[in-house]
């Protein structure tokens, strides 16, 4: 992250997202400001609050993708949640604090995986020794040992003499060369059966449920189960067990909580669904306002209790998004509006944008289908006019029915390639060229029938 300047962040986002340059600039600035804040003197650092963003635009134009790619690019804790999943405290459902608990859980898992990667080599060596102990058990011998009360027999486990050591080294070489990979060994695997218990409370059903399960898990005895597994599989299982034993979970949790507080990002989707249009409402509108009131302290900065410890939300970056078809950002409560100072309107996609989305990104839709069919030995080729025709049909269907943005391209492509994908394993011709005529022949009749296109395209 230290090396990525805003311009470079936008260039990286351009590899996956077409257009929306204005939105990319704002999120790039927001991400760079996280790094800038960490360089500021300590006394001022805590005073600099993140500038939260609202992305406004119809579905399928890249709002979620911008945030997801941004988090991957910066390698920071990231969580996407739907605002409609939450209810006001006192109603049955998820409370807004659960998003912080989920973010912490994601981050702890992320940090633990990183720590396990760092100890992968010693874990592998320890697992190798355990495998060799199974293949060549240490020699046991009994020796008399005189103590103050008389003679006591002790059992001493030794690696044995030089002959056994040389045999062990031979087995080690054979293990490295893969000669034992298909051989079966008996392996004891720990199993813990914890009863499923769920509790409803004002701190959130999921949180109490986890804590209760953790408590019961500590009381339950560990059951070991003997399984016959191949040496290659046993090596993976034992390496994982050794890595878990080498990881210091207290250190992992401490680092995870720090990462969440300093660089966490929460993407709050569908925020327009909790806005109340036309002033004060009744019925469900009251609950929507309640969700906004509950959301305000989280966004403003508060302390949330999680099973790993207390987490401050003052410097978590919130990126909200919504189509705002039926409502507008000003329908949110004034306090919540003030916590999202940056508002960016995303552009609707044009026919030219559709053509670029089909071919240009690293994960371009056409490239995905070409690689899928390559596994069957089929080469799929799209002509330039076929790309233009697909983009034109997708744009026209969006205009005539519901505008679902770039997601319409997936629907059109599935419909176009249905027969090819079905017959690919048996088709004699291994090179298939898609032209504009073929696209029209397959999709024109569906496109012309408006009722049919609503269901199929």
Position 364 confidence tier, pLDDT thresholds 50, 70, 90:
very high
Lowest mean pLDDT segment, chosen from 119-128, 218-227, 229-238, 333-342: 218-227
Co-location of 20 and 80 in the same domain: yes
Closest C-alpha among 318, 317, 323 to residue 273: 323
**Is residue 154 situated within a structural domain?**
no
CATH number for position 276: 3.40.50.300
Mean pLDDT estimate for the chain:
82
Residue 452 is predicted with a pLDDT of 76
pLDDT digits (tens, 9 = 90+) for 272-327: 888 876 555 555 555 788 888 889 999 998 999 999 999 999 999 999 998 888 88
Pick the last residue of a domain from 303, 322, 345: 345
Query: 49-60 burial, b if ≥16 CB within 10 A, otherwise e?
Result: ebebbbbbbbbb
Which DSSP helix (H) or strand (E) runs through 322? strand 317-322
Pick the last residue of a domain from 216, 251, 286: 251
Query: Does residue 166 carry a pLDDT above 90?
Result: no
Query: Does residue 125 carry a pLDDT above 90?
Result: no
Co-location of 268 and 378 in the same domain: no
**Helical H runs in 152-195?**
162-177
Query: Does residue 357 carry a pLDDT above 90?
Result: yes
Closest C-alpha among 347, 345, 349, 363 to residue 397: 349
pTM: 0.78
Residue 91 is predicted with a pLDDT of 67
Residue scoring higher pLDDT (323 or 217):
323
Cβ neighbour number for residue 67 with a 10 Å cutoff = 25
Residue 201 is predicted with a pLDDT of 46
Residue 228 backbone dihedrals phi, psi, to 5 degrees: -95, 120
Question: 327: Cβ–Cβ under 8 A, 6 or more apart, which residues?
Answer: 272, 275, 276, 277
Structural domain harbouring 409: 351-452
pLDDT digits (tens, 9 = 90+) for 382-438: 999 999 999 999 998 888 888 888 999 998 999 999 999 999 888 888 899 999 999
**Is residue 363 situated within a structural domain?**
yes
Binding residues: 18, 60-65, 269, 335, 407
Residue 160 is predicted with a pLDDT of 54
Binding residues for ATP: 18, 60-65, 269, 335, 407
Pick the last residue of a domain from 251, 275, 295: 251
- Work out how many domains the chain is built from and give that number: 3
pLDDT digits (tens, 9 = 90+) for 12-31: 999 999 988 999 999 999 88
Position 451 confidence tier, pLDDT thresholds 50, 70, 90:
confident
Distances (CA, A) of 63 to 49, 69, 455: 23, 10, 25
């Amino acid at each position: 992250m230290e090396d990525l300047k805003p311009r470079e962040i936008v260039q990286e986002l351009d590899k996956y997202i077409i257009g929306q340059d204005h939105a990319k600039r704002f999120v790039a600035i927001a991400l760079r400001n996280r790094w800038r804040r960490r360089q500021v003197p300590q006394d001022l650092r805590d005073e600099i609050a993140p500038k939260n963003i609202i992305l406004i635009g119809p579905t399928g134009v890249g709002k979620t993708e911008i945030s997801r790619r941004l988090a991957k690019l910066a390698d920071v804790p990231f969580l996407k949640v739907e605002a409609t999943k939450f209810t006001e405290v006192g109603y049955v459902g998820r409370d807004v604090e659960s998003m912080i608990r989920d973010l912490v859980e994601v981050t702890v898992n992320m940090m633990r995986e990183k720590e396990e990667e760092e100890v992968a080599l010693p874990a592998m060596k320890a697992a190798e020794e355990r495998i060799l102990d199974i293949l060549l058990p240490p020699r046991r011998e009994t020796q008399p040992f005189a103590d103050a009360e008389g003679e006591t027999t002790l059992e001493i486990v030794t690696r044995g003499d030089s002959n056994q050591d040389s045999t062990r080294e031979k087995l080690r070489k054979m293990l490295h060369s893969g000669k034992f990979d298909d051989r079966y060994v008996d392996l004891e695997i720990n199993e813990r059966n914890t009863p499923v218990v769920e509790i409803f409370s004002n701190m959130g059903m999921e949180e109490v449920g986890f804590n209760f399960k953790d408590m019961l898990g500590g009381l339950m005895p560990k059951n070991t189960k003997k399984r016959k597994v191949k040496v290659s599989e046993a090596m993976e299982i034992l390496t994982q067990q050794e890595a878990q034993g080498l990881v210091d979970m207290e250190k992992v949790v401490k680092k995870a909580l720090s990462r969440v507080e300093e660089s966490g990002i929460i993407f709050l989707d569908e925020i327009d669904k909790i806005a109340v249009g036309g002033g004060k409402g009744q019925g469900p509108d009251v609950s929507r306002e309640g969700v906004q009131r509950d959301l305000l302290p989280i966004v403003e900065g508060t302390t949330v209790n999680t099973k790993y410890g207390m987490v401050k939300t003052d410097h978590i970056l919130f990126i909200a998004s919504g189509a705002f078809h039926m409502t507008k950002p000003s329908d949110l409560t004034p306090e919540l509006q003030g916590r999202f100072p940056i508002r960016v309107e995303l552009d609707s996609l044009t026919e030219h944008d559709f053509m670029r989305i089909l071919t240009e990104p690293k994960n371009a839709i056409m490239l995905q289908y070409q690689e899928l069919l390559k596994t069957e030995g089929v080469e799929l080729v799209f002509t330039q006019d076929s790309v233009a025709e697909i983009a034109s049909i997708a744009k026209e269907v969006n205009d005539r029915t519901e505008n679902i943005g770039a997601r319409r391209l997936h629907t059109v492509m599935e419909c176009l390639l249905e027969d090819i994908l079905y017959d690919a394993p048996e088709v004699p011709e291994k090179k298939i060229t898609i032209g504009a005529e073929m696209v029209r022949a397959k999709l024109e009749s569906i496109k012309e029938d408006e009722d049919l296109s609503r269901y199929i395209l």
